[in-house]
Structures are given as structure tokens and as C-alpha cells.
Structure 1
């Protein structure tokens, strides 16, 4: 369990997906629940949804970022790449809500590239500057 919150070391594609996909699902259910729960409040609804989505993000962000950092390490990259990808996605999605809906496509494009880079491309073979290789699951014969 401590490994879930650590930013050091490397993890493989499957471990990354096993952490981030359930976290995304939990966060989306959290937001959907608050959208449903506050739909009857006309004045306070949007502000309450924003506050509760921020709380949900804070709860999910640490293990999400830790998994992303370790997956970047497995690819031989700094974890700051993951921060940039995440900030880019969020920035364009927020801009799409506030300014221009077409900007969401840029956020989606960054999210798609992040999924490809982190979830489908193998890590660097052998040790790198971040440590020994992560064990892939399922084990390769």
C-alpha cells in the first residue's frame, strides 16, 4: 500500500492502468453523485459541485500522480512529463468550459497521448537512472 503513494521507482503498464483507471472511475462517480445531489439547488448548486469536485481531485490526485511518475520513470523520463500532460489536459478542459468548447479537443488529444505513452508503450529494458525494471504483469515467458 505504501508503494501506491510513493513517487520513487518504476511500475509497468499494467500496474499503472490498475491504479489510474479505478481512480478515474471513482472520481467520475464522485462528480456524478454531486451533480445529481445538487441538481435541486438553483443558487448554490454549481459552487457546491465545484468545491466537491476539487475535494475529489485532491483525494485522487496523490496516487494518480505517484503512479504516473513511476510509469514515466519506467519509460526513462522525468515524472515532470506527467505533471505537464496532466496540467495540459486540465487547462484545456477548463478553457473549454470557460471560453471555447472546441478547446476540449486539445485536452482530449493530450489525454489520448498520455494513455498511449503510459498504457501501451513498454518501459526501458534493464535498469535506468530510476532503478531496476518493473515486473510486468502478467509475467512474460
Structure 2
């Protein structure tokens, strides 16, 4: 599978090793970009960071879709990412200069993100894929 297919196609299957490698790279990239942007542009980091997250969203969803496929499950399970995406987009967007109180909506969103994130982690990160070929393609090597 080419890098373009891996990062931008929602077809095919990948194993846990590729999934974990991507996630390690993804989160290191987010942390590095966050530190860099807050160092270089501290007044605008809360505006720039969500834009960066939008750019890395498609590759993250494509990788996760392929992992769901390896488990024999549909792309519809990508809907579990919605609370995670909302959380990633809203937390960095909060202006650090303005004190805020946690609202009930934020608490519910955080709990939903925790539950969905745990499900994705267990299913995609720890459980084996279906052995042999399935409707989404051949078993990854």
C-alpha cells in the first residue's frame, strides 16, 4: 500500500503495528506542532492549532477506517470519533486569557469522548483483525 493510499484512502485493511505507528507519529506531531506554535505565536496559537487539526483529520480517519476494516467492521464506526474531534477542536480553541467554567455540555462531551476513545482503543489497538480475507480486502501482512 502506498503512502497516499494509506493516508487518504478509506479502502483496505491494516494491522495493529501500522495503526500504533501512525498513532505514535500523529500524537507526537500534534504535541510538537502545539509546542512550536505556542512558542512562535503565543497570541494566536489557540486559533492556528485547530486549523492544523483539520489538516491531519483525514489521514487519521483513513487509518482508523482501515483498522475497522481489519476487524471486519464498517466505516460507520468512524462516527465514534465525533466526540473526540469535538474535544480536540474546542479545548485548544479556548482563549487562555479568558477564565472559563466547565459547562454541563463540556462534561458530557468529555465523558462521551472518553467512552468512545476507550472503545476505539480496545477494538483498533488491542484486538486482532479477522484472519484471512474479508469483504474489505486481504489480510494485512
> Which residue of 2 is the match for residue 138 of structure 1?
none
Could you tell me the TM-score, scaled by structure 2's length?
0.75
Report SS of the residue matched to 1:69: helix
Deviation of 1:92 after TM superposition, in Å, equals 5.1
- Give the length in aligned residue pairs: 126
Change (3 A) 1:102 1:36: farther
Q: Give the distance between the partners of 2:53 and 2:118, measured in 1 at CA.
A: 20
Provide the rounded CA distance (Å) in 2 between the counterparts of 1:25 and 1:105.
24
After superposition, where does 1:8-87 map in structure 2 within 5 Å?
Answer: 8-39=11-42, 45=43, 48-82=44-78, 84-87=79-82
SS in 1 for 2:65: helix
Verify: 1:130 aligned to 2:133, yes or no: no
- Structure 1 unaligned blocks of 5 or more: 40-44, 136-141
The answer as to 2:98 corresponding to 1:99 is: no
Q: TM-score, normalised by structure 1?
A: 0.75
Contact 1:92 1:106 (C-alpha < 8 Å) held by counterparts: no
Any unmatched runs of 5+ in structure 2? 95-101
